[in-house]
Amino acid sequence: MLYKTIEDFIGNTPLVRLQRLPGDTSNTLLVKLEGNNPAGSVKDRPALSMIRQAEARGQIKPGDTLIEATSGNTGIALAMAAAISGYRMILVMPENMSMERRAVMKAYGAELVLTPKEGSMEAAIDKARELEGEGVGLILDQFSNIDNPASHSAGTGPEIWRDTSGEITHFVSAMGTTGTIMGASRYLKSQNPAIEIVGVQPQEGRASPVFAAGLRPICQRSTMPAGSTGSSTSPRRRPSRPLASWQRERGSSAASLLVVRWRRRWSCRSR
């Protein structure tokens, strides 16, 4: 198959059935292979979407400088998307990010600005804002940009619905910016409100920005009754920016959908 540009290769990733799993064999678990995207992750979708939509709004044009704070895959995806679209890309990240990630970003032509590891992502975000304030370029802002989840409402969700012939019963996704789970689930729930959405994040380590704001991580679902909004009174570090409207809108809804019953035919996992 001939593709006119590498961006045409983003999306329409395959679903593959998991065959050698213990437990109830009447369940069908499918993995969506987002690693098949050209830069190697699901982040290719929002990276291209954020650039194309900013162009459509007249915010940027080829030759301009883009800025983003990142700790990994989004940076790689944006470096690729910027390279094929004619933009200078500045990526800001903590200095303890892996040399392998840095090498890939540089290979795509991105410029790296490193911040002290003690400051984590908050320091990287602050540095990106500083650069934007100095007039260096425009921050795309994966954490609050509506074009992040919109790319999954337009692509990931419809692809899953199509490839399961509408028989999906559960959607499971890891959470970072929450763009994937919010965007894909918004489409899937519009097709069938009974589909259950399950968000997953590590029990230890940095929480998703949404749940760092006070919602209980969904990975603790075994301790939360069904129907709970997921709110927590335990102290947590708040994100350095207000939650985007799409994150506030869907955060508690996603947290309430945590009881998984693997009884029907289809399930789908995004990774």
Per-residue pLDDT at 28: 86
Q: Which tokens go with 183?
A: 């965007």
| 29/88 same-domain check | no
| 53/162 same-domain check | no
Three-state secondary structure call for residue 216: coil
Give me the percent of the chain exceeding a pLDDT of 90. Answer: 62
248: containing domain? 6-36+149-270
Per-residue pLDDT at 184: 96
Per-residue pLDDT at 247: 43
**pLDDT tens figures, 225-269:** 333 333 332 223 333 444 444 444 433 333 222 223 334 444 445
φ, ψ at 220 (rounded to 5°): -95, 25
Please say if the pLDDT value at position 37 is more than 60.
yes
Does some domain include residue 217? yes
Q: Which tokens go with 20?
A: 């050698």
| 188/251 same-domain check | yes
Lowest mean pLDDT among 66-70, 89-93, 205-209, 224-228: 224-228
φ, ψ at 39 (rounded to 5°): -95, 5
Q: Apex CA 237: angle with CA 96 and CA 178, to 5°? A: 75
The catalytic position among 4, 32, 43, 127 is 43
Q: Apex CA 85: angle with CA 80 and CA 89, to 5°? A: 55
DSSP annotation of 115 reads: E
| 162/260 same-domain check | yes
Integer Cα distance of 148 and 164 in angstroms: 24
Q: State yes or no: is 43 an active-site residue.
A: yes
| 251/157 same-domain check | yes
> Model pTM?
0.78
Residue after which a domain boundary falls, among 139, 166, 191: 139
| 212/171 same-domain check | yes
Total count of domains within the chain = 2
| 58/157 same-domain check | no
- Specify the amino acid at residue 57: R
